[in-house]
C-alpha cells in the first residue's frame, strides 16, 4: 500500500475512466425497418385508443350521461304536436356499437396513414441525406 491508501500492483483498478465519445453520421434509414417499427407503434396506439374510448364510454354510460343527452335532444327536437317531426333517433347516435365502430374505423385509418407516412418520410430522409450528408450524432459512454 502506498501512503495515499490506494492499492498498487497488477490488481489495482483506476478510480476514474476517461469518457469515450463517438461522432457518427446517420446517412441512411432503411424504409422497410421504419415501416415495420411504425406499424407496431401505430398498432399499439390503436389498441390504447380503443381501450381508452371503451373505458370512457362505459364510465359515461354508467353515470347516465348518454341517457340525459338523448332526453335533452329529444326535448329540443319535439315540435308543437309532441311528435318527432324530423325523424331523428338520438339514442342510436350514442349506442356502443356506433361509438366503438367509429373508433375502430378511425384507428385503422390511423394505423395505415402513420405506417405509410413514416415509410415515405424515411425515403425522403434518404434522398435529402444524399444531398446534405445526413444527421451528425455524438454518442458518449456513461457509467
Mean pLDDT across 64-84? 76
Mean pLDDT of the chain: 85
Highest-confidence segment of 11-15, 77-81, 132-136:
132-136
pTM of the model: 0.71
Q: Which of 110, 109, 63, 92 is nearest to 55 (CA)?
A: 63
User: What average pLDDT does the segment 76-100 reach?
Assistant: 73
Please, which residues bridge with residue 21 across strands? 140
Residue 61, φ and ψ in degrees, nearest 5:
-70, -40
Beta-carbon contacts of residue 84 (< 8 Å; ≥ 6 apart): 74, 77, 78
Alpha-carbon gap, residue 105 to 41, rounded angstroms: 17
Burial class (CB in 10 A: 0-12, 13-18, 19+), 19: exposed
DSSP state letters, 59-127: HHHHTTHHHHHHHHHHHHHB-TTSSBSS---HHHHT-HHHHHHHHHHHHHHHHHHHHHHHHHHHHHHHH
Whether 10 has a pLDDT exceeding 60, the answer reads no
pLDDT digits (tens, 9 = 90+) for 14-68: 545 567 888 888 889 999 999 999 999 999 999 999 999 999 999 999 999 988 9
pLDDT reading at 93 higher than 70: yes
Higher-confidence residue of 13 and 63: namely: 63
pLDDT digits (tens, 9 = 90+) for 38-49: 999 999 999 999
pLDDT at 4 exceeding the cut of 70: no
- The percentage of residues in the chain with a pLDDT greater than 90, rounded to a whole number, is 51
CA 67 to chain centre: 32
Amino acid at each position: 500500500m502506498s501512503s495515499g491508501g490506494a492499492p498498487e500492483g497488477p490488481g489495482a483498478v483506476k478510480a476514474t475512466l476517461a469518457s469515450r465519445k463517438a461522432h457518427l453520421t446517420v446517412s441512411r434509414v432503411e424504409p422497410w425497418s421504419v415501416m415495420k417499427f411504425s406499424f407496431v407503434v401505430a398498432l399499439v396506439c390503436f389498441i390504447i385508443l380503443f381501450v381508452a374510448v371503451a373505458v370512457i364510454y362505459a364510465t359515461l354510460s354508467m353515470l347516465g350521461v348518454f341517457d340525459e343527452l338523448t332526453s335533452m335532444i329529444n326535448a329540443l327536437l319535439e315540435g308543437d304536436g309532441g311528435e318527432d317531426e324530423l325523424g331523428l333517433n338520438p339514442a342510436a347516435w350514442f349506442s356502443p356499437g356506433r361509438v366503438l365502430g367509429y373508433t375502430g374505423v378511425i384507428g385503422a385509418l390511423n394505423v395505415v396513414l402513420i405506417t405509410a407516412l413514416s415509410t415515405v418520410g424515411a425515403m425522403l430522409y434518404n434522398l435529402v441525406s444524399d444531398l446534405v450528408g445526413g444527421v451528425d450524432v455524438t454518442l458518449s459512454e456513461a457509467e
